[in-house]
Amino acid sequence: MNKEPEFKILSVTPTLIEVEFIRPETYNQEFNIGNYIKVPDDKKETNFIVGIIESYSIKTEPEKPITSGNEEVKKEDIKNKTKSFILNVQPIGTLTKEKGKVNFQRGFRNIPIPPVDDVKLVLKPDLEQIYNCNIKENERFIFSKLAQGDNIKVPVNGNRFFNKHIAIVGATGSGKSHTTAKIIQEAVALPEEKSFKLNNSHVIIFDIHAEYKQAFPDANLIGIKELILPYWLLTSEELIELFIDTEANDHNQRNIFKEAVIESRKKHFKGSDIDKDKIHFDSSLYFDIHEVLKHAIDKNFEMKQGTRGLIKGDLHGKLGNFVSRLENKLNDKRFEFLLGEKCKKITFEETLRQFTSYGFRKNKIANVTILDLSGIPFEVLSITVSLISRMLFEFAYFYKKIKNDIDIPLLLVYEEAHKYVPQSDLAKYRASKYSIERIAKEGRKYGVSLLIASQRPSEVSKTIFAQCNNFIAMRLTNPDDQNYVKKLLPDTLGGLTDNLSVLRTGEALLIGDAIEIPSIVQIDRCDPEPSSSDILYIKKWSKQWFDVDFDEIINNWEK
């Protein structure tokens, strides 16, 4: 006697299979949105279409109470009984079982035509084999488990994950910072039970809110007090952005500045005369900014010999604003990391070593370098991020050019990326936006990958996200952000992306080239955690009145 089927296919389209769950009361397995269904596409049941449950509706029928004789049944006594569930299943790939071996491939050739009876939920053993069948042991990178339960670990292909740019998006409180920290923690120190450790990993975190020091106590931490970023390595565009009033459109300022920079570069150059003649405004060579200031002051007060005595020079009195602007920058202690005396003494090699953790300061070598940008003045944040990013990219470029290999691939992590690579075309973002967009488009060829994290993805440069191949989408409450992320993800996900607004803290939609099937996962907790947890206001406010040392705060503020 044939057993009555538990599932029945109602309709099929290339992107959706409608399945009726006929007898849910007899089924001993839980199902929910995000679970997987397998549908045989042949009679041998060796090949299956695997799909993910995107949504479901409840089908009911009236249940009449038991009556005797001609007793009249009152309308209010009739109850609705759940008869079945109608599941909307998005097909995502093909599962093949042969001689006990499981193989999974994305995409599918055949879509089953009803009636097909032997539809089943994909249970833990099959799921574990699907996730692992195409990933070698030494390529498995794990930082999450399936959100539906059963403690199923969800591995990604580590090579594909880091070789192609990563995007992590989520609203405040969704667990975005914890997810970022967990991924990096796994990248720099895999658990002892694994057969390999990532000793040669190189991760640079652009930390705009000073969150990650707590999560990486052994990292090479560079704050504004430790940072030495020589101004003379800036490009011509960055130098003009920093020192010239671009809105004034004064060509005299630009010409004098350019002339003084080239003159100073040549003065301090120790090479041959032939090479000296090739020096230009964009040459990555030392120049003394105080010599530039002196040159501008001289021109601003220049007097020339005329036929009847001294007369004012061509630029006499016309460079006052430029001189004042330059003097203010040089006297501002906030710019000490960029324009101070240490910036004149540090070498090009030492500058590179501090960002790649190759023993510049106290011979400290670390897998993670944290660039604490919280103390950087906002008006030079873009330039700071631009210069460091460009240097790391060009370091990787020239390394490959010389060695013809990539021995030290870099991961650049941009936390709160909308702060310095926005869609805005304002001049203050131009430098960092240009540098990071270039890395997004060309970095992979030279072993430089990006991890872009943002709570406002709709405000991040479209060019950046267009180059990301792996997405971790956490809870998003803003409709603009939700719609923007939905456009970035494949259309075939359909209703699955509608879950972005209701994901719990730490849950995410994980999708990309590195994972076999799109999955709603629970990110593993990181240990230690970044200092991004919500402040317990009631607990803090319930304590005794807390006195503040204003002198200490003001002294640090003024420094």
Mean per-residue pLDDT, 549-559: 77
Residue that finishes a domain, picked among 338, 370, 386 = 338
CA dist list (Å): 529 to 110, 170, 174, 211, 217 = 47, 17, 14, 9, 10
How many other C-beta atoms lie within 10 A of the C-beta of residue 3?
7
Note the pLDDT of residue 38. 87
pLDDT band at 81 (very low <50, low <70, confident <90, very high): low
Task: Using the predicted structure, report yes or no on whether residue 550 has a pLDDT greater than 80.
Answer: yes
pLDDT, tens digit, 9 for 90 and up, residues 367-415: 899 999 988 988 899 899 999 999 999 999 999 999 898 888 999 999 9
Rounded Cα–Cα distance for residues 546 and 123 (Å): 55
Cα separation of 99 and 117, whole Å? Answer: 23
Confidence bin at 248 (pLDDT 50/70/90): low
| Stronger pLDDT, 546 or 285, i.e. the higher one | 285
Tokens of 368: 């993670």
**Quick one: average pLDDT of 163-178?**
92
Locus of tokens 């996200």: 465
Query: Any idea what DSSP says for residue 422?
Result: B
pLDDT of amino acid 26 = 65
Q: Is residue 521, in this structure, part of any structural domain at all? A: no
Residue 240 included in any domain:
yes
Reply yes or no on whether the pLDDT at 98 is more than 80.
Answer: no
pLDDT value at 191 more than 70: no
- Do both 12 and 122 map to the same domain? yes
**Local confidence band at 1 (pLDDT 50, 70, 90 cut-offs):** very low
- The chain-wide mean pLDDT, for the chain, equals 84
What pLDDT digit, counting tens, does each position of 224-247 carry? Answer: 988 999 999 999 888 988 888 766
pTM listed for this prediction: 0.86
User: Higher pLDDT residue, 554 or 362?
Assistant: 554
Structure confidence at residue 326 as a pLDDT band (50, 70, 90): very high
Which pLDDT value is given to residue 500? 83
Q: Is the pLDDT of residue 339 over 70?
A: yes
Question: Domain check: are 13 and 128 in the same one?
Answer: yes
Nearest to 218 by CA among 353, 361, 354, 368: 368
User: Is residue 13 domain-resident?
Assistant: yes
Last residue of a domain, one of 282, 311, 338: 338
Residue 332, pLDDT > 80, answer yes
128 and 13 in a single domain? The answer is yes
Residue 121 is part of which domain span?
7-132
Sequence-distant (≥ 6) Cβ neighbours of residue 39 within 8 angstroms: 9, 17, 19, 48, 49, 50, 51, 89, 112, 116, 119
Buried b (16+ CB within 10 A) or exposed e, 73-85: eeeeeeeeeebbb
For residue 126, tell me if it sits in a domain. yes
CA atoms of 82 and 36, how far apart (whole Å): 22
Q: Is the pLDDT of residue 82 over 70?
A: no
- Specify the number of domains making up the chain: 2
Inside any domain, residue 100: yes
How far apart CA 162 and CA 513 sit, in angstroms, is: 10
What is the average per-residue pLDDT within 63-82? 56
- What is the per-residue pLDDT across 31-47, written as a single tens digit (0 to 9) for each? 777 788 888 876 666 78
For residue 7, pLDDT beyond 90: no
In a domain, 90, yes or no: yes
Q: Which residue has the higher pLDDT, 65 or 83?
A: 83
The model's confidence at residue 144, banded by pLDDT at 50, 70 and 90, is very high
Which of 132, 154, 173 corresponds to the end of one domain? 132
Say if CB 27 and CB 6 are below 8 A apart: yes
Residue 441's nearest CA partner among 453, 450, 432 is 450
Which sign does the torsion angle of CA 479, 481, 484, 490 carry?
negative
Residue 219 reports pLDDT greater than 80: yes
d(CA 218, CA 38) in angstroms, rounded, equals 46
Q: Specify the pLDDT at position 269.
A: 93
Same domain, 125 and 237: no
Whole-angstrom Cα distance, residue 263 to residue 557?
Answer: 37
Task: Kindly state whether residue 76 falls inside one of the protein's structural domains.
Answer: yes
Assess whether pLDDT exceeds 60 at residue 126. Answer: yes
Do the domain assignments include residue 438?
A: no
